[in-house]
Amino acid sequence: MSRTLEEMIRKSAPNAIVKIEITNFTVGIFGEVRRPDLYNIRSPRFSVLDLIARAGDLTLYGDRTSIKLIRDNDGEKIIGVIDLTDPAILASPYYYLQQNDVIYVEPNKAMKRSSSVTDRDNVRISIASVIASGMVALVTALLVVFSGQSSSSN
């Protein structure tokens, strides 16, 4: 799109210097942040740190060492990894955001461990609960029967 605009302007003004910048773009941040959302940015140089600040910072469960940036580069999706604990982040090609970038903050190890109960585990727990309830009902019935027999024999 920018090349088309440049070509149109150069036809009218062949010696013109054309510089096109997007100064209003949308980026998204999701995962372990306080306010996940799509954000409209009005600055031509907006960093991943700026976006994290706008989203209210990471939650206690956000992994600061493995933040994913998903970027569309001429139809090809690129996934970059950002480590907020590494000072080299400032030189990263993913430090400054571009139009339609998406940031995903993964959960840290503690959160992953706490959510390790799977659907299969839930089914097993449900089955065990049904079996335990059935056994309690059976024991209760047997106690009622036996207590009734011992009182009638006296």
Report whether 32 contacts 61 (CB < 8 A). Answer: yes
Residue with tokens 């306080």: 34
The Cα–Cα gap between 85 and 128 comes to 44
pLDDT of residue 72: 93
How do 102-107 and 25-31 pair as beta strands? Answer: parallel
Question: What Å distances lie between residue 145 and 136, 138, 149, CA to CA?
Answer: 14, 11, 6
Pick left, alpha or beta for residue 61 (phi over 0 → left; psi -120 to 50 → alpha; otherwise beta). alpha
Measured CA to CA, the distance from residue 61 to residue 68 in angstroms comes to 15
Contact yes or no for 97/41 (Cβ under 8 A): yes
Amino acid 83: pLDDT: 96
Predicted TM-score (pTM) of the model is 0.63
- C-alpha pair distances (Å), 129 with each of 122, 132, 133: 10, 5, 6
The contacts of residue 48 (CB under 8 Å, 6+ apart) are: 67, 69, 82, 89, 94, 95, 96, 97, 103
What local confidence, expressed as pLDDT, does residue 152 receive?
A: 59
What is the structure's pLDDT at 19?
74
pLDDT tens string, the chain, 154 residues long: the values are: 566 777 888 788 888 777 777 777 899 999 999 999 999 998 878 999 999 999 999 999 999 999 999 999 888 999 999 999 999 999 999 999 999 999 999 998 877 777 666 667 777 788 888 888 888 888 888 888 877 666 555 5
What pLDDT was estimated at residue 2? Answer: 60
Cα-Cα-Cα-Cα dihedral of 57, 63, 64, 70, to 10°? -90
